[in-house]
Structure 1
Amino acid sequence: MTTGGFTTCLWFDGQAEEAAHHYVSVFKDAALGRVVRWPEGGPGPAGSVLTAEFTANGQRFVALNGGPEFTFDEAVSFQILCSDQQEIDHYWTKLTEGGGEGGPCGWLKDKYGLSWQVVYARLLDMVADPDPEKAARAVKAMMGMGKLDAAALEKAYAGE
């Protein structure tokens, strides 16, 4: 294992291995890594999962079964930049299935409560356009959406 870069640690209450498998099934360039189990003498039950390592879109994660003390909230989210509507639809569907819920402006929570932003990549350039009218039209269109609609964003940006 390399020591460079960052590994994001996600805290779960008993679902670490399940979540790792789920995220590996959702993302490209994803793989399950080492699963570490509690040894005899705990503090967790011997043989139960302590951590499950995985990569998703090339990013390293470790899912930790830390208990119920901490939960996810919107203060931290992961952006998924999508090149087209097919990618937006894929990630939106996969991350909301099984109990997740859509939110405004491309945001959603998955079934574990983790927040994601499923973003049309061109939207970043649209909202940063030096023409304030074009940027404002793109932002206004986005603000009225749950799951982002790439074609509608392009039309709004173009003034159609």
Structure 2
Amino acid sequence: MKTMVGELITIPSYRAMGLKWEGSYAEVPKLRELIIQMSNRVNELSYVKNPGTQLGLSYHLRSDGFIHYSGFEVDEKQELLPRMVEITVPEMSYLKVAHPKGKDLGVTYTEIYQWFKECDYKPLKEKGIEYYDDLPIKHERYPVDRNLEDPHFEILIPIELKS
């Protein structure tokens, strides 16, 4: 279903493998190095499902920063590789927003925040988990050939109906 900022979609559960980073907002420049490192390691994955799309899965579980997984979707046959982690993402409904080249990322996220204020949905918060951001879970899908200085990518925010 199309919305003013994107569309509502459901993505079945999937398995991803890659590198984990946890840090404060002040340490975010180090995250970029990890993302580049993972994009260089994709060829080590024998059963990658879409080598052209790198995943960025962020969870705001700390007050001063977040946990981020940079990886790729893999088949069940893929063995866990050294220094990598695996994560299983459950089936979820999302607000999917395209962030185009040339647009300020802050503007895109401001539009997403505004959409949530005006609609029947809210960002998903898993029960029993304390989050520290108004958008507690952010999944992004990047084309591997993106321009790191002016990227274009998809933003996926898990959603649930407001009660």
TM class by shorter-chain length?
Answer: under 0.3
TM-score (norm 2): 0.25
Q: Which has the higher contact order (CA 8 A, sep 6+)?
A: 2
Larger Rg: 1
Structure ranking higher in strand proportion: 2
TM-score (norm 1): 0.25
